[in-house]
Amino acid sequence: TARMIEFETYIDGVFVNAQRSDGLIISTPTGSTAYALSGGGPLMDTALDAILLVPICPHDLSNRPLVVPGDSRIEIRVCGHDHGNARVTCDGQTSLDLPRESSVEVTRHPERACLLHPRGHSHYKILRAKLGWGGHSQVSRPC
């Protein structure tokens, strides 16, 4: 079951915030249309060199999604809490428990993954279909 955890976020060694939430989603722009979007994160163009941090059900309304440069070193420090261990889950597949007072560091891999797309592929066309944004931009008169 999900439990509230307390943790601190550091970007490139600089303290960003402390928060209590059900967790934190760390996403690439490609992943921004999946779980991060469901958690209230923004849509990111896949050409961006950025990393997205989205709090899961934060217990303070001032904790909002944050977009940081893609070459950032993100450190999450788990604070002491009475609710058992925090857990890291990677893409819903692999998970491990984190004991109190431990930390996780996230950086991008030095090599980029190359995704193959069919001719005519459009990130925005896919978003229109996924999100029901509506038809074409062919308007007979200006808005």
Per-residue pLDDT of 86-139, as tens digits, reads 888 888 888 988 888 889 999 999 888 888 889 998 888 888 888 888 766 655
How far from 30 is each of 55, 87, 103, 117, CA to CA, in Å? Answer: 18, 23, 25, 13
Per-residue pLDDT of 2-29, as tens digits, reads 678 899 999 999 999 999 999 999 999 9
Least confident range of 39-48, 68-77, 120-129: 120-129
Query: Cβ(128)–Cβ(134) under 8 Å?
Result: yes
User: Among candidates 60, 70, 71, 68, which has minimal Cα distance to 6?
Assistant: 60
Rounded (10°) CA dihedral 33, 22, 54, 71? -110
pTM of the predicted structure, to 2 decimals: 0.84
Q: Which domains does the chain have, with CATH numbers?
A: 5-115 (2.60.200.30)
